[in-house]
């Protein structure tokens, strides 16, 4: 009886989540379905016997809700992310150099946000190369599309991806760049599979994220980022990537840069 009730709760949560991800369900309706699904999933996670069924869910609940809000204004986030006081912005040239992009390469900027890296990546891959700028936020994708057009970046394609899929073709990219995004993956296993599938044999996954060290990291980082470098590394290696090469970026104060290769 209890198991049947839990089962139907799980199915309802999944149905609500699936409905929210349907392309014809957009805006407030999608948001509503997502919220209901999360509430139901929260009820289910409190129930031990079905823990394994929903173990794919990872990041802090609702971490991406503000990015999925149809009222999002990209300009508000430009003022937060493209400013010198943000480490990723201040160190952007060191990050770009460390990615080691070759002329003619195809790079996927997974979780592009406002598109901070889009222009330098476009220049680095050159006319024969390609930049896929992906995000789960339709507003960010539209913003990047406009930005690329106004800057004449013909090799950039902005793509609306999903919380559990890059929506990229298999074997289509040389480098997947995940900067300040891995800890936002709510379904890290599905995303890692999708990224791995999209990479060509021997392709690279670059992860830049916050060092999360209890007693050392800022309280905001401890609350916002679900795990530290070693946990993320284990997840990525388990998903079919090599042990990482860590590139030390001297200007980093609270971030790290890891390069994994598709196995």
Ligand X SMILES: C[S@@+](CC[C@H](N)C(=O)[O-])C[C@H]1O[C@@H](n2cnc3c(N)ncnc32)[C@H](O)[C@@H]1O
Give the interface segment with ligand X, choosing from 106-114, 125-133, 221-229, 239-247 (CB under 6 A): 106-114
The phi-psi region of residue 173 (left if phi > 0; otherwise alpha if psi is between -120 and 50; otherwise beta) is: beta
Give the interface segment with ligand X, choosing from 7-15, 20-28, 150-158, 180-188 (CB under 6 A): 180-188
Give the interface segment with ligand X, choosing from 5-13, 46-54, 173-181, 209-217 (CB under 6 A): 173-181
Contact 188, 178 (CB under 8 A): no
For residue 40, give both structure tokens: 């139901």
81 binds ligand X (CB under 6 A): yes
256 binds ligand X (CB under 6 A): no
67 binds ligand X (CB under 6 A): yes
262 binds ligand X (CB under 6 A): no
Contact 86, 213 (CB under 8 A): no
Total binding residues toward ligand X, as defined by CB under 6 A? 22
User: How many angstroms separate the CA atoms of 117 and 101, rounded?
Assistant: 12
The phi-psi region of residue 162 (left if phi > 0; otherwise alpha if psi is between -120 and 50; otherwise beta) is: beta
In the complex, which residue's CB is closest to ligand X? 113
- The minimum distance between CB 224 and ligand X, in angstroms, equals 10
DSSP element (H, E) containing 68:
helix 65-68
The single residue among 111, 129, 203, 228 that binds ligand X, judged by CB under 6 A, is 111
210 binds ligand X (CB under 6 A): no
User: How many angstroms separate the CA atoms of 140 and 127, rounded?
Assistant: 24
185 binds ligand X (CB under 6 A): yes
């Amino acid at each position: 009886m209890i198991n049947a009730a839990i089962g139907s709760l799980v199915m309802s949560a999944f149905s609500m989540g699936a409905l929210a991800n349907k392309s014809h369900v957009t805006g407030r309706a999608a948001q509503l379905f997502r919220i209901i699904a999360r509430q139901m999933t929260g009820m289910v996670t409190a129930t031990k016997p079905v823990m394994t069924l929903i173990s794919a869910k990872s990041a802090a609940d609702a971490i991406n809700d503000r990015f999925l809000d149809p009222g999002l204004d990209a300009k508000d986030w430009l003022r937060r992310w493209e400013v010198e006081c943000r480490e990723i912005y201040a160190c952007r040239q060191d990050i770009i150099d460390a990615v080691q992009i070759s002329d003619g390469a195809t790079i996927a900027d997974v979780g592009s946000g406002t598109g901070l890296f889009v222009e330098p990546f476009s220049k680095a891959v050159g006319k024969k190369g390609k930049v896929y700028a992906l995000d789960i936020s339709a507003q960010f994708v539209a913003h990047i599309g406009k930005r690329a057009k106004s800057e004449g970046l013909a090799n950039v394609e902005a793509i609306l991806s999903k919380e559990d899929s890059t929506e990229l073709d298999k074997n289509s990219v040389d480098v997947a760049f995940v900067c300040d995004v891995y800890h936002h993956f709510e379904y890290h296993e599905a995303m890692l599979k999708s990224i791995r599938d999209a990479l060509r044999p021997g392709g690279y996954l670059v992860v830049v994220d916050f060092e999360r060290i209890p007693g050392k990291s800022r309280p905001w980082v401890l609350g916002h980022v679900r795990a530290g470098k070693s946990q993320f590394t284990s997840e990525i290696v388990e998903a079919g990537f090599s042990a990482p090469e860590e590139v030390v970026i001297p200007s980093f104060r609270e971030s790290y840069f890891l390069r994994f290769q598709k196995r």
